[in-house]
Amino acid sequence: MKTIVIGKRNAAYQMLQGLKENRTKRLQQGAFFVEGVRNINQAIAAGWKIRSFIHAEKGLSDWAKEILAATETKVNYQLTAELLAELSGKTDGSELMAAVEMQKAPRWWNNEAGCLQPQADNPFLVLFDRPGNKGNLGTILRTCDALGRMA
């Protein structure tokens, strides 16, 4: 495993920031950002492929050291405390974050259109991405009901 040390807001740092904050960048890179002990533990336990870890220069806990040693990655990024705090979305900051590879889309997902392919042998699914308010959610559910698609 290779470790890249990042001491300033360079291209590597901007790539990590884009991975965290920009959906288009996540899709282009085929990875998403994971932060927090519980979330990282669950990703590893579920068998998700960890592409990279992002961690501090020093002061890692035993848990973080164990995760870094036990998990195979392509490349890890070591950031200064200031950059790590800036990248972290938490008040206290995280000592370890991860870039996790997205799984390949199922055969019924149309990547170009970003929607489901109509196939009779597949269930009808409705996906919500951060619904803005309860009224919009209710409208979507009523539409599904009107189409006879509510289970």
Digit-coded pLDDT (tens) for 109-130: 555 555 555 555 556 677 777 7
Over residues 103-109, mean pLDDT: 61
∠ Cα 59 61 67 (to 5°)? 120
Alpha-carbon torsion angle 39, 64, 9, 81, nearest 10: 120
AA letter at 126:
V
Are 92 and 125 in the same domain?
no
Are 82 and 121 in the same domain?
no
Number of domains in the chain: 2
Digit-coded pLDDT (tens) for 82-92: 899 889 877 77
- Name which of 12, 31, 10, 30 is nearest 77 in CA terms: 12
- Domain with 91 in it: 2-101
SS3 label, residue 43: helix
Are 17 and 65 in the same domain?
yes
pLDDT band at 72 (very low <50, low <70, confident <90, very high): very high
| Structure confidence at residue 125 (pLDDT) | 72
pTM for this one? 0.67
Domain-embedded: residue 151: no
